Structure formats: structure tokens, C-alpha cells
């Protein structure tokens, strides 16, 4: 990719910055995602199916 | 702690559902009409108000903002209340939002056929309506955030993240792209010019697709797919990665609409790179939706709603793979300006937006009316009509696109263009246009059956305007408690932070692309011989905009031998520095006109030819599908605002000399008289200098004229 970018006149700085920013966002999102517990994931994924009760609040009560 | 009882507001959901269905049918009807105009100009009915150039923006606006827009609000109002376990924040705001949006659509229905347009693709509405859109959008956001802040559910489900990103990004895109200086209530000029205007326009245009047609529907998919399949989304983790990657990447990809144009190369490449990267999050979302049906695929056979969802998601997958491919320069060289792009857009619009909207309507209406669908058979018939409609639409358009792209580029063994007459390439694809109109008719028929079925369903039940619900109240977190759990919950449970982070993610792309393009002078190289439009040319340009000529004619010669031989010198950014707005266009149903005024170009025609062509296109170009414009010949132009127009243009940076507006009318008359005399003496055509056709000819003869000199000294 770096080699290809090098051939584009004047584009290197913008492209490299853009790719670095994206990489940063992607890594943060991936870490964020992986830090979540299975229990929490299941709880969140089931939110649309929870028609009557908000179970989280019930548990906390 | 006791459960609290409350009501969901289903009336507002019903209202948006009705609006979705009605505007959908109207928008599709306009679509079938303009599809018919593209194989037989008879369907223009010699009326200025329904000629292709004026109806095409009405079709796109109706489908995007009326059909899809109302569908978004219907789905958001239904799902947000249930996900947040609360009623909408304010019934008054809901009502203002609903009626405000419908009035905006009504304003579009009135103004666009009248020719009141800014010409900016997917943002054609004039400035007072733009302001109304911004205000009503804020009302929507206010109501949405009010609902989120009064919620009983702590967690913000991923669907709501998409709603929040949609709200903030659409607001940003709309406001920036609408920067304009008004001449009067019905006329304004874009604040940006030429290449900069094109960059802003396609940053908006591309991201209108991203944040109006994609992200809200992904949010709706993440809510309704699990509801319909009765199982949680396949991977919630993937949905998080999908969300952040998608909103970050999408915003950068706009310049892929301007490949091989005079936009600086670095910006074009940036658009290509980010477009390719977009495949990953787009397919992540599609797979996450489809895999939600794991273990339940047998239900798809019996449940028409799921059929709509599956085919809709598949269309999304196809369109989001094809999009990045079209952003590759070598593919784009063939596909751009052709029907291929029309096919691509409609796979997304008819497949992804249309089919998901239908599924959601079929899901919501029986539930809020506490009844069952009136006819499941009719739902199935609708599904097959819609699917066949998409196939009959898309396949001929792909065929037509390949044909156009290849015919435009074909050379004989002697090195001459094989099809030097552009019309030959148009006549070749007319059968494909007929099949496309048939496909559209099938799709429209299906939608009509749906409206009938939903109407009958509603009649068998009774609207539960206030649906009873109960939930535990939300326990306030003690300050600092959140850090003990997961640091990332800081965003997830806090709508304001989510809004800010989403805004940062989407703003970065725009800033990196705009700042150099606007501030680095070398990005827009000036050409000393290029002069501002004369008053008559400016009026002619406004007529060109009013009639929507840019919907069929581009003004951007790409640096290909096939184009420079056909049209003349390729376009440079310095040629368009006084173009508020730019008129590069995105489609060539007719030939490019960037060199229409350059006598060295093969595309150049004299005033007499233009007069005859506008009066009766088939008299000069046999078989042409261009509509006739007799009113340009019959009617006098209203040039009473020329003084104001010149003043506004000067304010925007066009270098008219001081007080030029005072003599603009005089100059206008002189130039008009010259053209009128030429037509009489050289062509024997008697036409008064006041007629609109004279101004249009003046404008067409300005296009590319300024570079028609060997001694052009450029700063390049």
C-alpha cells in the first residue's frame, strides 16, 4: 500500500495520515469490543427482544 | 421498586407509515414516468412542468426524502420507544416533525416542477426549504434525544448508535452543502464554485447515500431483523466494530464520484482508497444481518417479511461490493456517466431501502392495529413483483451501461471514433430503457398491492394509539461507578458522548479533504483567459439550471483520448472558478457540453442549430429522446433580477468590476441583439432578443470558449 501511495504525486501525506487515523479508530474499536464480557454482550444483543421488562434494571433493584 | 406504567405513541408511527406508503407510490410513479421519457420523448407531453429535467430531481427527492425519509422516521419512532422503554419525549414535537416534513415534501413537489432548483444533486431545493429542512431535522433530533434522556433502559442498543450518527451527520452535510447566497426568495447561488463546489456536493451526495439511505436502515435492520426472526443479532461485537468502522470510513469516499475530473489527484486517490476499505464494514453489517437467521432459515420459506429482509440485505451486499469496484479508476473509466451507475443506485434503493421498508411496514401495521395481515398471499405476490421488478430494472441497465461505456470508447482500425455521433450510442440502448420502465412498473404494481393490503389490514383492526407498557425505572448511577465496570460503557450509556464521538469520527474525513482543497492555492489552478459570465450568459445559465439540463448533459471532459477526440481539450479546474454552482453533472444521456462553445470542438454548433434543436430536437438529430423546449422560443426572459445576480456573484468572489451591475442590463441587451441579428441575417430565423432561447444560446456558446485560443497562458 505504502509503495502504491508513493506513486501518487503529493498524496502521500494525506493518505498516510488518513490511514493512520483509521487504523487508530479500528484498533480502539476492536479493543473496545474484545473487552466486553459475554454476559454483557448477550444482555445487549437481547435488548430488542425484551418486550415487557427491562431485566437489567430489575436485577439492580 | 415498582414497575412504572406508560404508553407507546403508535399514532405518530401510523402517520409516518401512511406517509411512507403514499409518497412511495407517488415517487415510483414519477420514476416510471421519467423512465418512459427516456425511450419516448412523447411522455414529456410537451409540458415544461413534467419534462425530464424537472421531474428527475422530483423523483430522486421523493424517493429519498419522502419515501425513505418517512420510513426512517416510522421505524425510529417505533423502535426507539421500545428500546428505551418510554414514550416519545414530546407529542407536540412528534406532530411538528411529522407535518413539517410533509410540508417540506409538498414544497418540493411544487417548486421542482416549476424549475426552482439549486441544481445540486439530491439537494436541489432552494434556500428557504433548506432552512425548513434544518429546523425540522433539529426538531427530530430534539425529540429523539429527549426520549433517550428520559429512558428507562440504561443501555443504548446499537440501533440507537446508528440513529444518533445519522442525526448528527445529516445535519452537518445538509448545512455545509446548502451554503448559498440568495438573490431572492426563489433563487440563490452556491457559496462554493467549480471544483470546490463539486467536492462539497459529492461529499454531501455520497454521504446522503451513506447517512440517509444506509446508517438509519442499518439501525432499523439491527432492531427489526431480531424481532422478525425472534432471535438476537448474530454478533453484537461485530455490530460495534461495524458501526465505528462504517461511519468513519464512509465520509471520506465522496471524491470517487469525481474520478478523472479536475479535482486534485490526491483527493481522488483518497476517495478510491477509502471506498475499497468500505467493503469490510459494509459486508460485516450484511453478514451480521443474514447470520441472525442462523438456524431459522426454514422460516424464510413461510414468512414473506423475512423474504423481504433477506433479499434486501443481499441487495445491500451487492451494492456495497459494486460501489468500491466502481470506485476503481479503471472500472470507473468505463462506468461513469453511463446507465451502469443508475443500475447500481437502484439495486441499493429498490433492493435495500425499498424491500426493508416494505418488511417494516408489514411488521408494524398489524401490530399497531392489533390484527393480522389481511392477505398473506398478497404479501407474497408483492415480494415476487418487487424482486422481479428489481431484476427487470437492473439487468437491462447494466447491459445498457456496458454498451454505452464501450461504444463511447471504441475506435476504428484507422484510429477514428467508431461512433462519432453520440446519438448512435443513445439509440442503441433504447430497448434497455423500455425494459427498465417495465421493471419499474412491476415494482410500482407491487407497492400498490401493498398499500391496498395494508389499508385492508388497518380496516380489520383498530389503531392502538396509546399502547400500554410497563418497565422498571432506570437506577441512576453513582458518580464514578461506571469506571469500575467497563471504561467503554462511558460511551455506550451516554448519548451525548456518543453524539460527540460520532461527530468527531465523521468530521475528520471532511476536514482532511476540504482544508487543503480550499486553502492550498495550487489545488485550483487559474487560467487568465477565463472570464466571468456576461449578464446574458448568466441568465442563460440560470435557464439551463431551471430546465435541469445537467441531469442529462455533463460538463467535464475526462482526460481520455476517446473524450478529447469527441469533445476537445480535457477539463481543467481553472475553467470553473466562476461557476456557482458547478454543473459537471453525473450522467450522459446526451453528450458532454463542456466544449459546446468552443469552435475548435466537434461538438460546437451554431446559434441556428441550437434554435432548431431546442424547438424540435428530432429535426436536427433524428431519433433523439431529448424533449422539445418550445417555451424557450415563445417566452420572454425575466431579466429584472440581473442587477441582484451580479451583486451576489461579486460577493461570492466573481471579479465583476465595481458598479458593473448598473450597466449589466445594457450589456445584456447588446449581446442579445447580436445573437438575434445573427439568427435573422445568417439563418433567416426571426427571434426577438428578449426570448429565453437567446440567453440559452449565449450560455452554450460560452462553454469552453475561453480556452479556445493558442495563446492561453495558464499558471500550470
Nearest CA in chain A to B280: A26
* Per-residue confidence band for A9, with pLDDT thresholds at 50, 70 and 90: low
CATH of the domain at B560: 1.10.760.10
Distance from CA of A19 to the nearest CA of B (A): 9
Using N-to-C axis directions, what is the helix angle for B495-519 and B158-177, rounded to 10°? 30
CA dist., res. B715 & res. B703, Å (int): 20
CA atoms within 13 Å, Cβ hemisphere of B90: 14
Q: Which residues pair with B587 in a beta bridge?
A: B337
In a domain, B600, yes or no: yes
- Minimum mean pLDDT range among A10-14, A52-56, B475-479: A52-56
Q: Which of B78, B84, B240, B515 should we substitute to test contact with A (largest number of A Cβ atoms within 10 Å)?
A: B240
Does the distance separating the beta carbons of B241 and A30 come in below 8 Å? yes
Cα of B212 vs its chain's centroid, Å: 10
- Burial class of residue B331, CB neighbours in 10 A (0-12, 13-18, 19+): middle
**Is the confidence at residue A48, as pLDDT, over 60?**
yes
Query: For residue B595, what is its C-alpha cell?
Result: 466544449
Sign of the torsion formed by the C-alpha atoms of B100, B105, B108 and B113: negative
Secondary structure of residue B337 in the 3-state scheme: strand
Q: How close is the nearest chain B Cα to the Cα of A22, in Å?
A: 7
Average pLDDT for B41-63: 95
Contact at CB, B241 and A21, closer than 8 angstroms = no
CB < 8 Å to A25, chain B: 244-245, 248, 505
Mean pLDDT within A11-40 = 76
**Sequential DSSP letters for B350-405:** IIIIIHHHHHHHHHHHHHHTTS--S-HHHHHHHHHHHHHHHHHHHHHHHHHHHHHH
What sign results for the dihedral spanned by CA atoms B171, B177, B180, B185? negative
Our CA dihedral for B320, B326, B329, B332, rounded to 10 degrees, sits at: -160
Question: How many beta-carbon pairs below 8 A join chains A and B?
Answer: 124
Name chain A contacts of B228, Cβ cutoff 8 Å.
Answer: none
Alpha-carbon distance B394 to nearest alpha carbon in chain A (angstroms): 34
Number of domains in chain B: 1
- Give the rounded distance of the alpha carbon of B454 from its chain centre: 28
Q: Residue B366, Cβ neighbours under 10 Å: how many?
A: 18
Segment B111-158, tens digit of pLDDT: 999 999 999 999 999 999 999 999 999 999 999 999 999 999 988 999
- B245 vs A contacts (CB less than 8 Å): 25-26, 29
Peptide bond into B581 cis (omega under 30): yes
- State the best of B266, B478, B482, B508 to mutate against chain A, taking most chain A CBs within 10 Å: B266
pLDDT single digits (tens) B423-481: 999 999 999 999 999 999 999 999 999 999 999 999 999 999 999 999 998 876 655 55
Residue written as cell 440560470?
B542
- B-facing residues of A in 2-61 (CB < 8 A) are 5, 8-11, 14-15, 17-19, 21-22, 25-26, 28-30, 32-37, 40-49, 51-54, 56-58, 60-61
C-alpha cell at B195: 471544483
For residue B182, the cross-strand partners are B188
By C-alpha distance, which of B195, B200, B207 is closest to B178?
B200
Interatomic CA distance for residues B353 and A37, integer angstroms: 34
The distance of Cα B653 from the centroid of its chain, to the nearest Å, equals 28
Do residues B385 and B443 touch, judged by C-beta distance below 8 A?
yes
Q: What percent of chain B has pLDDT over 90?
A: 84
Range of the domain at A42: 2-60
In B, minimum Cα distance to A15 occurs at: B270
For residue B714, the model assigns a pLDDT of 36
pLDDT tens readout for residues B204-247:
999 988 999 999 999 999 999 999 999 999 999 899 888 988 99
- Closest chain A CA to residue B233: A45
Determine the longest span between alpha carbons in chain A, in angstroms.
62
Best CA proximity match to B12, nearest among B102, B85, B83, B146: B102
What pLDDT was estimated at residue B687? 95
Q: Which residues contact B332 (CB under 8 A, 6 or more apart)?
A: B256, B259, B260, B326
How far is B2 from B247, CA to CA, in rounded Å? 40
Give me the pLDDT at residue B672, please: 97
Q: What is the C-alpha separation between B429 and A19, in angstroms, rounded?
A: 41
Which residue range forms the structural domain that includes residue B597? 535-707
Report the chain B residue with the minimal C-alpha distance to residue A29: B241
Mutate: best of B156, B221, B248, B513, partner A, most A CBs <10 A? B248
Is pLDDT of B713 > 70? Answer: no
Query: Most B CBs within 10 Å: which of A48, A58, A60, as the mutation test of the B interface?
Result: A48
Q: Confidence class of residue A22 from pLDDT cuts 50, 70 and 90?
A: confident
pLDDT of residue A28: 80
Which residues have C-beta within 8 Å of that of residue B292, sequence separation ≥ 6?
B225, B226, B229, B231, B232, B233, B234
In the predicted model, what is the mean pLDDT of chain B?
93
Alpha carbon distance, N-terminus to C-terminus of chain B: 75
Does some domain include residue B586? yes
Chain A residue numbers with beta carbons less than 8 Å from the beta carbon of B237 are 33-34, 36, 41
Asked if residue B716 has pLDDT above 50, the reply is no
Rounded to whole angstroms, the Cα distance separating B566 from B405 reads 14
Residue with cell 444482555: A43
Chain A residues with CB inside 8 Å of B249's CB? 22
Q: ∠ at Cα B641 (B637, B642), nearest 5°?
A: 85
**Phi, psi angles (nearest 5°) of residue B569:** -50, 140
Kindly determine whether residue A54 and residue B472, on different chains, have CB atoms separated by under 8 Å: yes
List the grid coordinates of B566: 469527441
Residue A2: closest C-alpha in chain B:
B273
Q: Do B266 and A11 touch (CB under 8 A)?
A: yes
Cβ proximity of B683 and B608 under 8 Å = yes
Give the nearest chain B residue to A60 (CA atoms). Answer: B475
Spatial contact of B260 and B559, defined as CB atoms under 8 Å apart: yes
Query: Does pLDDT of A7 surpass 70?
Result: no
Please name the residues in contact with B75: beta carbons below 8 A apart, sequence gap of 6 or more.
B216, B219, B220, B223, B224, B360, B364
β partners of residue B466: B9
Whole-angstrom distance, CA of residue B296 vs CA of residue B307: 12
| Alpha helices (H) along B603-659 | 607-615, 617-620, 630-634, 642-651
Residues of A in contact with B281 (CB under 8 A): none
CA angle B409, B339, B354 (to 5 degrees): 160
User: How many domains are there within chain A?
Assistant: 1
User: For B270, which of A14, A48, A60 is closest by C-beta distance?
Assistant: A14
Closest CB to A57: pick one of B83, B273, B475.
B475
Please, which pLDDT band fits residue A46 given cuts at 50, 70 and 90?
confident
Confidence bin at B512 (pLDDT 50/70/90): confident
Chain A CB contacts of B471 below 8 Å? 52-54, 57
Burial of B53 (0-12, 13-18, 19+ CB in 10 A): buried
Confidence of residue B524 (pLDDT cuts 50, 70, 90): low
pLDDT tens per residue across span B365-414: 999 999 999 999 999 999 999 999 999 999 999 999 999 999 999 999 99
Digit-coded pLDDT (tens) for B539-573: 999 999 999 999 999 999 999 999 999 999 999 99
Structural domain includes residue B53: no
CB-CB contact of B626 with B637 (8 Å) = no
Q: What Å distances lie between residue B275 and B176, B270, B458, CA to CA?
A: 22, 8, 43
Q: By C-alpha distance, which of B608, B561, B553 is closest to B585?
A: B553
Q: Which of B683, B707, B566, B704 is nearest to B620 (CA)?
A: B683
Residue B520 has pLDDT above 80, yes or no: no
Per-residue model confidence as pLDDT tens digits over B356-373: 999 999 999 999 999 999
Nearest CA to B405 out of B259, B563, B529 is that of: B563
Best mutation target, A11, A47, A59, to test chain B (most B CBs within 10 A): A47
Residue A4 has pLDDT above 50, yes or no: no
Q: How confident is the model at residue B295 (pLDDT cuts 50, 70, 90)?
A: confident
CA end-to-end distance (rounded Å), chain A: 54
Distance CA B122, CA B105 (A): 13
Band (A11; pLDDT cuts 50, 70, 90)? low
Asked if B265 and A43 come within 8 Å (Cβ–Cβ), the reply is no
Query: What integer is the mean pLDDT of B49-73?
Result: 97
- Judge whether B355 and B280 are in contact, CB under 8 Å: no
Contact B232 A42 (CB under 8 A): yes
The whole-number pLDDT of residue B508 equals 79
Cα nearest neighbour of B468 on chain A: A52
Instruction: Assign B469 to helix, strand or coil.
Output: strand
- Please state, in angstroms and as integers, the Cα–Cα distance from residue B515 to each residue in B111, B143, B523, following that order: 34, 34, 11
> Which of B362, B410, B420, B446 is closest to B28 using CA atoms?
B446
Residue-wise burial string across B9-32, b where 16 or more C-beta atoms lie within 10 A, e elsewhere: bbbbbbbbbbbbbebbbbbbbbbb
Amino acid at each position: 500500500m505504502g509503495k502504491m501511495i508513493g506513486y501518487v504525486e503529493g498524496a502521500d501525506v494525506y493518505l498516510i495520515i488518513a490511514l493512520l487515523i483509521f487504523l487508530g479508530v479500528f484498533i480502539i474499536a476492536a479493543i473496545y469490543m474484545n473487552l466486553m464480557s459475554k454476559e454483557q454482550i448477550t444482555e445487549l444483543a437481547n435488548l430488542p427482544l425484551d418486550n415487557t421488562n427491562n431485566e437489567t434494571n430489575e436485577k439492580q433493584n | 421498586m415498582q414497575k412504572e406504567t406508560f404508553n407507546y405513541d403508535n399514532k405518530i408511527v401510523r402517520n409516518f407509515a401512511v406517509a411512507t406508503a403514499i409518497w412511495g407510490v407517488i415517487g415510483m410513479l414519477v420514476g416510471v414516468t421519467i423512465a418512459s421519457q427516456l425511450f419516448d420523448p412523447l411522455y414529456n407531453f410537451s409540458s415544461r412542468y413534467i419534462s425530464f429535467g424537472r421531474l428527475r430531481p422530483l423523483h430522486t427527492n421523493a424517493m429519498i426524502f419522502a419515501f425513505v425519509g418517512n420510513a426512517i422516521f416510522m421505524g425510529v419512532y417505533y423502535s426507539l420507544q421500545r428500546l428505551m422503554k418510554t414514550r416519545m419525549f414530546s407529542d407536540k414535537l412528534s406532530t411538528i416533525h411529522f407535518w413539517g416534513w410533509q410540508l417540506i415534501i409538498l414544497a418540493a413537489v411544487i417548486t421542482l416542477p416549476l424549475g426552482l432548483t439549486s441544481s445540486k444533486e439530491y439537494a436541489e431545493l432552494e434556500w428557504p426549504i433548506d432552512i425548513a429542512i434544518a429546523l425540522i431535522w433539529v426538531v427530530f433530533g430534539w425529540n429523539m434525544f429527549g426520549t433517550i434522556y428520559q429512558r428507562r433502559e440504561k443501555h443504548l442498543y446499537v440501533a440507537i448508535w446508528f440513529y444518533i450518527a445519522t442525526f448528527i451527520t445529516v445535519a452537518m452535510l445538509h448545512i455545509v452543502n446548502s451554503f448559498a447566497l440568495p438573490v431572492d426568495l426563489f433563487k440563490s447561488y452556491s457559496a462554493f464554485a467549480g471544483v470546490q463546489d463539486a467536492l462539497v456536493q459529492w461529499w454531501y451526495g455520497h454521504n446522503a447515500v451513506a447517512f440517509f439511505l444506509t446508517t438509519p436502515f442499518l439501525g432499523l435492520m439491527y432492531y427489526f431483523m431480531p424481532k422478525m426472526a425472534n432471535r438476537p443479532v448474530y454478533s453484537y461485537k461485530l455490530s460495534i466494530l461495524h458501526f465505528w468502522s462504517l461511519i468513519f470510513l464512509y465520509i471520506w469516499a465522496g471524491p470517487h464520484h469525481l474520478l478523472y475530473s479536475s479535482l486534485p489527484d490526491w483527493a481522488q486517490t483518497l476517495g478510491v482508497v477509502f471506498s475499497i476499505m468500505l467493503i469490510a464494514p459494509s459486508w460485516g453489517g450484511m453478514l451480521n444481518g443474514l447470520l441472525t437467521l442462523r438456524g431459522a432459515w426454514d422460516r424464510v420459506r413461510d414468512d414473506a417479511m423475512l423474504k423481504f429482509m433477506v433479499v434486501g440485505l443481499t441487495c445491500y451486499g451487492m451494492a456495497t461490493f459494486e460501489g468500491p469496484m466502481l470506485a476503481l479508476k479503471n472500472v470507473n473509466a468505463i462506468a461513469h456517466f453511463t446507465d451502469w451507475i443508475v443500475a447500481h443506485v437502484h439495486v441499493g434503493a429498490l433492493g435495500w431501502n425499498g424491500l426493508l421498508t416494505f418488511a417494516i411496514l408489514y411488521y408494524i401495521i398489524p401490530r399497531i392495529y392489533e390484527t393480522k395481515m389481511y392477505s398473506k398471499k398478497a404479501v407474497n405476490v408483492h415480494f415476487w413483483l418487487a424482486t422481479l421488478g428489481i431484476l427487470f430494472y437492473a439487468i437491462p441497465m447494466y447491459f445498457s451501461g456496458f454498451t454505452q461505456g464501450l461504444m463511447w470508447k471504441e475506435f476504428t482500425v484507422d484510429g477514428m471514433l467508431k461512433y462519432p455521433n453520440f446519438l448512435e450510442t443513445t439509440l442503441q440502448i433504447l430497448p434497455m430503457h423500455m425494459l427498465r420502465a417495465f421493471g419499474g412498473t412491476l415494482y410500482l404494481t407491487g407497492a400498490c398491492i401493498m398499500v391496498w393490503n395494508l389499508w385492508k389490514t388497518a380496516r380489520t383492526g383498530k389503531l392502538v394509539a396509546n399502547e400500554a407498557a410497563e418497565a422498571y425505572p432506570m437506577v441512576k448511577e453513582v458518580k464514578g461507578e461506571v469506571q469500575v465496570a467497563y471504561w467503554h460503557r462511558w460511551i455506550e450509556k451516554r448519548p451525548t458522548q456518543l453524539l460527540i464521538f460520532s461527530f468527531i469520527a465523521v468530521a475528520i474525513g471532511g476536514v482532511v479533504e476540504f482544508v487543503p482543497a480550499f486553502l492550498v492555492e495550487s489545488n485550483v489552478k487559474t487560467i487568465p483567459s477565463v472570464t466571468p459570465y456576461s449578464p446574458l450568459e448568466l441568465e442563460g445559465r440560470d435557464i439551463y439550471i431551471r430546465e435541469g439540463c445537467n441531469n442529462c448533459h455533463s460538463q467535464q471532459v475526462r482526460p481520455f483520448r476517446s473524450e478529447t477526440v469527441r469533445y476537445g481539450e480535457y477539463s481543467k479546474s481553472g475553467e470553473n472558478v466562476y461557476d456557482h454552482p458547478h454543473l459537471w453533472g453525473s450522467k450522459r444521456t446526451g453528450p458532454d457540453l463542456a466544449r459546446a462553445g468552443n469552435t475548435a470542438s466537434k461538438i460546437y454548433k451554431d446559434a441556428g442549430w441550437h434554435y432548431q434543436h431546442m424547438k424540435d430536437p428530432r429535426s436536427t438529430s433524428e431519433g433523439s429522446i431529448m424533449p422539445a423546449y418550445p417555451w424557450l422560443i415563445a417566452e420572454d426572459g425575466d431579466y429584472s433580477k440581473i442587477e441582484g445576480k451580479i451583486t451576489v456573484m461579486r460577493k461570492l468572489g466573481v471579479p465583476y468590476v465595481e458598479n458593473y451591475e448598473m450597466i449589466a442590463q445594457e450589456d445584456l441587451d447588446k449581446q442579445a441583439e447580436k445573437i438575434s441579428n445573427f439568427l435573422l441575417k445568417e439563418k433567416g430565423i426571426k427571434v426577438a432578443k428578449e426570448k429565453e432561447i437567446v440567453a440559452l444560446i449565449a450560455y452554450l456558446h460560452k462553454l469552453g470558449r475561453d480556452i479556445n485560443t493558442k495563446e492561453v497562458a495558464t499558471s500550470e
